[in-house]
Structure 1
Amino acid sequence: MRHEPHTQIIATASGEKLVVLTKADYDRLIAAVFEAQEHIRDIAAFDAAVSQPTAKVIEVERDAALAIFIRARRKQYGLTQTELAAASGVGQGFVSDIESGRRRPSAEVLAKLAAALFFDPAALDETSPGAGR
């Protein structure tokens, strides 16, 4: 619900316009400014983190590790990609893309694959692709 501030605009003798706010409206305004500044800092920190080459390398390595794990687990159970797709409800093309590292599974898709391949997706590293998405 949007709050409409109680304001009054007055002019000084020299014609300068001033805005008069209630103390409560002033406090809300200041709180909003601090919140916006915090969001800006968070965005800057995120941008700095993802711009680091090492972060990208780690991400690519985790994508590759997940692809290898899914493929190895499927083969361990003697399943074809088509059989895994049928068992998990994930399209065969998507299974192929995950195993080749071309696509990352969402948390939902990873959970479906985990159920079909009998592993706990939470046991994977928390920062692996698809975790928490």
Structure 2
Amino acid sequence: MSTQSIDPVKLAGAKSKGKRPWFLEDTDVERLMNITHALVQEVAVIRERMDTIERLLERDGKVTKESIEAYKPARFEADERGLLMQEYIARVFRIMQQDVEAASMPDEASSAEVAEEFAQTD
């Protein structure tokens, strides 16, 4: 198949048959969450490719598309990438983790409440 016959918009719009299932009450929130997840995934891919480019430059001093596609990280490199990816995902979704932690500490004051308390003291 030639690249001229590929329609990226049509491919991006491909979906399973049937109605789309909704999991959240607010479909707008779910749409935003899906967009966010897609962006997070794209950035993760870019980060991994950038890591590949940096490693190839360090090792060989040059990079080609073929060398990027053929690159297979050594075990220690894959472990480093895995840790970096875990840290990235934790930063992106830290608000969710903070909500879980806050639910386990219902009596803890919010930052707004603490600020208001300091503002009221003379």
TM-score exceeds 0.5: no
Higher RCO (CA < 8 A, seq sep 6+):
1
Structure with more of its chain in strand, by fraction: 1
> TM-score with structure 1 length normalisation?
0.28
